[in-house]
Amino acid sequence: MIYAYDPRTGETFGEAIPESTDAEVDAAVEAAHAAGPAWRSTARPEALEAIAAALEANVDELWAVADRETALGETRLRGEVARAASQFRLFAEVLRDGGHLEAVISRQADVRRMNQPLPGVVGVFSASNFPFAFSVAGGDTASALAAGCPVVVKAHPAHPLTSELSARVIRSALPDPALLGLVHGLAAGKRLVQHPRVVAVGFTGSIPGGKAIQALIDERPDPIPFFGELGSVNPVVVLPSAARDGLAAGFAASLTLGTGQFCTNPGLVFVPDDADLVTSLGTAVAGSSGSAMLSERIRQGYLDGVERLAKLTLLAEGAQGDGSWAVAPRVFTIDLAAFADQLPSIAEECFGPSSIVVTYGDAAELPAVLERLEGSLTATVHATDVDEARPVAEVLSRRAGRLIWNGWPTGVAVCWAMHHGGPWPASTAPAHTSVGAMAIRRWLRPTAYQGWPAELLPAELRDDNPLGVPQRIDG
């Protein structure tokens, strides 16, 4: 059985949810697969907009249940429901635009190519830290449905009741409720990954979790694509020319947002060896407060992480805050040479409100050390001198999927240009994003038609182009 826990008290509440049996997983996948063909011929933009409207109409119930399971608060959770709705609306725009199909016609060779939905069910694993935006109602679900693929979600055990409610709301707006399946439990996740009808898997979680799913996929007779968003330390480089006003406050706010439970949390900050600057960073964090983490397991993982970092100098510790699973923000410091000597282990992600401030004497020494960091979702540069930043920016462009100038990495805009991915271990597929319009590409495959009769061509590849999609013709 799976129980809902209140992070503020550590106590269970509500009715327990049975773990899904193999037969129940099979039934959910088969029902989703059977619903797929009709869905691919449905007016999907209107259906996606209906889902967005349903989420907004049920926000009062959704946020209240999620808050009981996550302790994230009304403001954050209402905003997250709005974000989830905006993702469905974005993909409605993507479908109406048609550019994601990448219709290409080469008349001389008589070859026509376009993207089509993967021919099966997409398995999605919910994240713990975003009960809506990266869960049942999240971007993986929205983008896969938009692509034309039915979905079966493996619910995260940290918010099972929120998952059930989210699924009911989404199904109420779908032409066939079977298009969205929901299963619970570790064994159900394994069964889902290895089901022959599942043609791709999306995952947001830890590196060990991602490796476990990849191992299950490798056991299949037909390995399938795996799009995992895993660990990320999101290095921030403060160069000597950086403006100091607001820097410390911005760091503390980014570090402690959502009790540090963001995949874009600034886990490494490189700063000049300036006592006033380092002190200001510590003072800002010391004035901050933690709160309850999402689960007891996540809390213990954070405590284990800061214990691993205890060999470093503790720069600052904030208040612990309220709640049985509450933690205190902690920031440690070390100089660049000592940091480099302890790579790569010192730079492992510590999921939660923890960061390492690395001090350097000469910015010219930074590129060689930054080059040794593992891949991240983001990298940030604070500077006012462009020439000073150029060597650092060149290295970071190879180590991260999104580069930020004079800002902070937390927060990922749902837009056409967003890329939320990066080199391993940030993601398993750095060419793809899990946020933004291009997230749909994960669930598409190209098909080329050579010498094909016009009557049998997809409408998107016909010369008369009745759907009006963008076509690239003869280059």
- 3-state DSSP of 382-435: ECCCHHHHHHHHHHHHHHEEEEEECCCCCCCCCCCCCCCCCCCCCECCCCCCCC
Contact of 167 with 176, CB cutoff 8 Å: no
Cα–Cα–Cα angle for 447, 434, 470, rounded to 5 degrees: 40
The pLDDT value recorded for residue 321 is: 85
**Element (H or E) spanning 56, and its range?**
helix 44-57
Q: What are phi and psi of 68, to 5 degrees?
A: -65, -30
User: For every one of its 475 residues, what pLDDT tens digit does the chain have, with 9 covering 90 and above?
Assistant: 999 999 999 999 999 999 999 999 999 999 999 999 999 988 899 999 999 999 999 999 999 999 999 999 999 999 999 999 999 999 999 999 999 999 999 999 999 999 999 999 999 999 999 999 999 999 999 999 999 999 999 999 999 999 999 999 999 999 999 999 999 999 999 999 999 999 999 999 999 999 999 999 999 999 999 999 999 999 999 999 999 999 999 999 999 999 999 999 999 999 999 999 999 999 999 999 998 999 999 999 999 999 999 999 999 999 998 888 999 999 999 999 999 999 999 999 999 999 999 999 999 999 999 999 999 999 999 999 999 999 999 999 999 999 999 999 998 999 999 999 999 999 999 999 999 999 999 999 999 999 999 999 999 999 999 999 999 999 9
Q: Report how far residue 451's alpha carbon sits from residue 457's, in angstroms, rounded to the nearest whole number.
A: 10
* CB-count exposure of residue 176 (10 Å: 0-12, 13-18, 19+): middle
Q: How far is CA 359 from CA 205, 209, 254, 330, in A?
A: 30, 33, 19, 17
C-alpha closest to that of 319 among 330, 308, 309, 310: 330
As a whole number of Å, the end-to-end CA separation of the chain is 57
Report the relative pairing of strands 354-360 and 2-5 from DSSP bridges. Answer: unpaired
Q: Which residues are catalytic?
A: 229, 263
| pLDDT for 43 | 84
| Gap between the Cα atoms of 298 and 196, Å rounded | 32
Q: Residue 201: beta bridge partners?
A: 123, 226
Three-class DSSP category at 118: coil
What is this structure's pTM?
0.95
The number of beta carbons lying within 10 Å of the beta carbon of residue 372 is: 13
Q: Left, alpha or beta for 62 (phi > 0: left; psi -120 to 50: alpha)? A: alpha
Give the start-end residues of each E strand in 261-419.
268-272, 313-317, 330-335, 354-360, 376-382, 400-405
Closest Cα partner for 318 from 290, 354, 356?
A: 290
Residue 80 has a pLDDT of 97
